[in-house]
């Protein structure tokens, strides 16, 4: 019988994952169903936006700056070998807008905001506050979850724009100082590249769309882990940890599929 | 509201918490549930508002079985009920005033701001918290949170109020004041109440009837006077707070009669 143990473990893991996925999906659909209350909840959406901002803007911009710099350094050295370092700006822009920007923001938001959502809602759950809402006939999904999803759907793309911008700036400094690309060349090539409206559309809106989807994912997973919290403080810690891990995994997988679809759409 | 529980069973975490629980509370009466920590007093209250669903049995409210109620029906029912949670359960990012106003703001949109404020102040004064309106829950003591929770529970003038340990964490003077609030709600508005408590002094003051929950059933029930002079050793030990007795011993006595266990005589 001991031989069967691993299979049992795998089986229950699969069941557990399926349950979680189902729960999160239901939560998402229920939030969509109460989108009608969005105007009423504007205050709590605004305060969630503020919380997201405070928790993540600083760190994201620092990360963006250094990512731009490291991209410039490593790519620059390669491009330099073929004497095409003038394209450095374009390469960084495209890399950031298409993949790195949305992705980095999502990871930071998952780590800071998603985990905080899980912890906050988890604490409310174990201290009977969510039950109190239910008893007052206030739908926790409309009251707690929907505003959080909306705020991240709005905020993730905004943060991504900042990230891309700061990353490109950071890249320009390294390009100039270490690779020897003039600022005029660096930005000149970027603007040249952006003259084609289709390109602009693809790299910006493709990236922003992904960001919005990531934002939604993070909020749904954070809230769903929070609402499923049990066992007091230990459970809250677990929920917030799980929110991060689940978000990371899901973002990675979603990213691949969305990138495939977006590329197919534009080429 | 008239409450009738009939043979309610509930298993939680692999343990049979409610084991054929039966209980009746006539309209306008105050019923106290006493019992040791972890016997399922809070679980019982949660069944009455539909936060937990009975595995088996009937919960009749004004003659209608609420087990299996859907969301919409539950909403209708909950509107007529107030629930004071054991921990107060205030939302921590809102002030006390906003917390108390929440049910009005969410459900009685037609009320003007000043009307909402007037009612909030009235209820806060009732529980002695007139000065705490603008404080955040984190700046309140445990007892103050509980009183704020009470103000929120009764803000919509419910017909049934469920109190989960309303006086624990309060000083004796404040306890008496809260007991008076519970009494007043009953005499002035005809509210039906269920009070879960460990505080026997408070139970004697507010209750029309007291029932002791033990191993998922009410093992003894009566008026405060009957309970005070009961011969049931389980209840005696509980109300006197003895460390030795059938509650703490590996019991083989029958909790209904106190005699050595034979076949159950009473089946309630
Ligand atoms: N959601 C749940 N899942 C699993 N077990 C639960 C759940 N809720 C309560 N229990 C268990 O049910 C039992 C009764 O809990 P309950 O909260 O009703 O106790 P109580 O009588 O209110 O005690 P206290 O006086 O300490 O508040 C406890 O053993 C508790 O562990
Ligand atoms: Mg309790």
Q: How far is A51 from chain B (nearest CA, A)?
A: 12
Q: What count of Cα atoms within 13 Å lies in the side-chain half-sphere of residue A256? A: 5
Number of folded domains that form chain B: 1
Per the prediction, chain B carries an average pLDDT of 88
Would you state the pLDDT for residue A40? 85
Q: Classify residue B97: in a domain, yes or no.
A: yes
Half-sphere exposure of A13 (CA within 13 A, CB side): 6
pLDDT score for A150: 95
Residue B103 clears pLDDT 80, i.e. is over it: yes
Q: What is the ipTM of this complex?
A: 0.87
Say what percent of chain B tops pLDDT 90. 54
Nearest to B41 by CA among B9, B18, B61: B18
Between B103 and B189, the more confident residue is B103
Does some domain include residue B99? yes
**Contact with chain B for residue A152, Cβ under 8 A:** no
Q: Is the pLDDT of residue B116 over 90?
A: yes
Binned at pLDDT 50, 70 and 90, residue B225 comes out as very high
Q: How confident is the model at residue B254 (pLDDT cuts 50, 70, 90)?
A: low
Q: Does B81 touch chain A (CB under 8 A)?
A: yes
User: Does residue B90 register a pLDDT over 60?
Assistant: yes
Give the residue, out of B8, B14, B38, with the most ligand 1 atoms within 8 A of its beta carbon, to mutate for a pocket test: B38
- B60 vs A162, B3, B56, B67, CA distance in Å? 59, 6, 13, 8
Tell me the CA distances in angstroms from A253 to A62, A214, B242, one per residue in order.
26, 11, 61
What whole-number distance in Å separates Cα of residue B195 and Cα of residue B159?
14
What pLDDT does A36 receive?
Answer: 85
Task: Give the pLDDT of residue A90.
Answer: 92
C-alpha angle A42-A101-A120 in degrees, rounded to nearest 5 = 40
The domains of chain A are located at: 56-266
Ligand 1 pocket by Cβ (under 6 Å):
B 12-13, 17, 35, 37-43, 86
CA distance A160 to chain B (A): 29
Return phi, psi of residue B61, to 5°.
-115, 120
Reply yes or no on whether the pLDDT at B267 is more than 70. Answer: no
Residue B23 lies in a domain: no
C-alpha B163 to ligand 2 mean position (Å):
10
Coil vs helix vs strand at B170:
coil
**What is the CB neighbour count within 10 angstroms for residue A264?**
8
pLDDT, residue B264, reads: 43
C-alpha of residue B18 to centroid of ligand 1, in Å: 10
pLDDT at B126 over 70: yes
> Which residues span the domain enclosing B152?
91-157
Flag residues of chain A having pLDDT under 70: 1, 266-267
pLDDT of residue B253: 62
Sheet strand arrangement including B3-12:
B15-25, B3-12, B56-61, B64-65
pLDDT, residue A231, reads: 80
pLDDT surpasses 50 at B263 = no
Residue nearest to atom 25 of ligand 1 (CA): B37
Does residue B137 belong to any structural domain of this protein? yes
pTM of the model: 0.88
Share of chain B above pLDDT 70, in %: 93
Q: Whose alpha carbon is nearest atom 2 of ligand 1?
A: B12
Residue B266 has pLDDT above 80, yes or no: no
φ, ψ of residue A156 in degrees (nearest 5): -60, -45
Q: If contacts are CB pairs under 8 Å, which of residues 120-159 in chain B contact chain A? A: 149, 152
Closest-lying ligand to the alpha carbon of B36?
A: 1
- Please report the pLDDT score of residue B59 as a whole number: 94
Per-residue pLDDT reduced to its tens digit, B203-219 = 999 999 999 999 999 99
Strands B81-84 and B217-222, how do they pair?
unpaired
- Measuring from atom 11 of ligand 1, which residue has the nearest CA? B12
Cβ-defined contact of A136 to B106 (cutoff 8 Å):
yes
Residue B113 lies in a domain: yes
Please tell me which residue of chain B has the smallest CA distance to A47: B93
Res. B268 pLDDT band, cuts 50 70 90: very low
At B151-186, the pLDDT tens digits run 999 999 999 999 999 988 888 888 888 898 899 889
Q: Which atom of ligand 1 is nearest to the CA of B86?
A: 27
Q: Which has the higher per-residue pLDDT, B143 or B137?
A: B137
Q: What is the DSSP string of chain A?
A: -GGGHHHHHHHHHHHHHHHHHHHHHHHHHHHHHTGGGGTTTHHHHHHHHHHHHHHHHHHHHHHHHHHHHHHHHHHHHHHHHTT-GGGHHHHHHHHIIIIIHHHHHHHHHIIIIIHHHHHHHHHHHHTTHHHHHHHTT--HIIIIIHHHHHHHHHHHHHHHHHHHHHHHHHHHHHIIIII---HHHHHHHHHHHTTSHHHHIIIIIHHHHHHHHHHHHHHHHHHHHHHT--SHHHHHHHHHHHHHHHHHHHHHHHHHHHHHHHHHHH-
Task: Please indicate whether, in this complex, the C-beta atoms of B106 and A134 are within 8 angstroms of each other.
Answer: no
Q: How far is A22 from chain B (nearest CA, A)?
A: 20
- Comparing B71 with A164, which gets the higher pLDDT? A164
Looking at ligand 1, which atom is closest to the CA of residue B44? 18
- With CA atoms as reference, the chain A residue closest to B100 would be A136
């Amino acid at each position: 019988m001991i031989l069967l143990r691993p299979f049992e473990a795998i089986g229950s893991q699969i069941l557990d994952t399926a349950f979680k996925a189902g729960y999160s999906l239901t939560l998402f659909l229920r939030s969509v169903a109460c989108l009608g209350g969005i105007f009423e909840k504007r205050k709590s959406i605004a305060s969630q936006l503020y919380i997201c901002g405070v928790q993540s803007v600083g760190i994201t911009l620092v990360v963006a700056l250094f990512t731009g710099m490291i991209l410039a350094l490593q790519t620059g050295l390669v491009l330099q070998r073929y004497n095409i370092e003038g394209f450095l700006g374009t390469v960084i822009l495209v890399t950031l807008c298409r993949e790195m920007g949305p992705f980095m923001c999502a990871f930071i938001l998952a780590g800071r905001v998603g985990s905080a959502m899980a912890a906050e809602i988890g604490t409310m759950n174990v201290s009977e506050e969510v039950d109190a809402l239910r008893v007052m006939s206030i739908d926790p999904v409309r009251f707690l979850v929907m505003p959080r999803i909306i705020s991240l759907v709005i905020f993730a793309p905004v943060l991504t724009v900042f990230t891309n911008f700061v990353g490109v700036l950071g890249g320009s400094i390294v390009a100039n100082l270490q690779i020897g690309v003039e600022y005029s060349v660096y930005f000149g090539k970027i603007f040249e590249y952006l003259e084609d409206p289709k390109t602009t559309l693809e790299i910006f809106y493709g990236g922003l769309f992904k960001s919005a989807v990531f934002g939604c994912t993070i909020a749904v997973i954070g809230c769903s882990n929070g609402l499923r919290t049990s066992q007091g403080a230990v459970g809250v810690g677990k929920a917030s940890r799980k929110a991060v891990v689940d978000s990371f995994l899901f973002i990675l997988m979603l990213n691949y599929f969305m990138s495939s679809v977006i590329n197919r759409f534009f080429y | 509201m008239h409450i009738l529980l009939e043979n309610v069973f509930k298993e939680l975490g692999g343990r049979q918490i409610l084991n054929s629980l039966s209980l009746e509370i006539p309209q306008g009466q105050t019923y106290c549930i006493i019992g040791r920590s972890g016997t399922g007093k809070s679980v019982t209250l949660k069944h009455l508002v539909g936060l937990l669903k009975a595995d088996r049995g009937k919960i009749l409210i004004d003659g209608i079985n609420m087990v299996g109620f859907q969301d919409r029906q539950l909403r209708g029912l909950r509107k007529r009920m107030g629930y004071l949670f054991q921990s107060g359960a205030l939302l921590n990012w809102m002030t006390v005033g906003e917390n108390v106003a929440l049910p009005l703001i969410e459900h009685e949109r037609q009320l003007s701001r000043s009307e909402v404020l007037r009612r909030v102040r009235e209820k806060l004064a009732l529980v002695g918290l007139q000065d705490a309106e603008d404080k955040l829950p984190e700046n309140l003591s445990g007892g103050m949170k509980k009183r704020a929770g009470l103000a929120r529970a009764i803000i919509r003038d419910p017909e049934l109020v469920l109190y989960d340990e309303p006086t624990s964490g309060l000083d004796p003077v404040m306890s008496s004041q809260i007991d008076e609030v519970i009494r007043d709600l009953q005499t002035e508005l005809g509210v039906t109440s269920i009070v879960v408590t460990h505080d026997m002094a408070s139970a004697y003051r507010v209750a029309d009837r007291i029932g002791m929950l033990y191993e998922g059933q009410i093992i003894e029930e009566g008026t405060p006077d009957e309970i005070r002079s009961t011969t049931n050793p389980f209840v005696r030990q509980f109300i006197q707070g003895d460390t030795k007795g059938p509650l703490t011993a590996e019991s083989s006595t029958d909790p209904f009669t106190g005699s050595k266990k034979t076949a159950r005589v009473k089946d309630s």
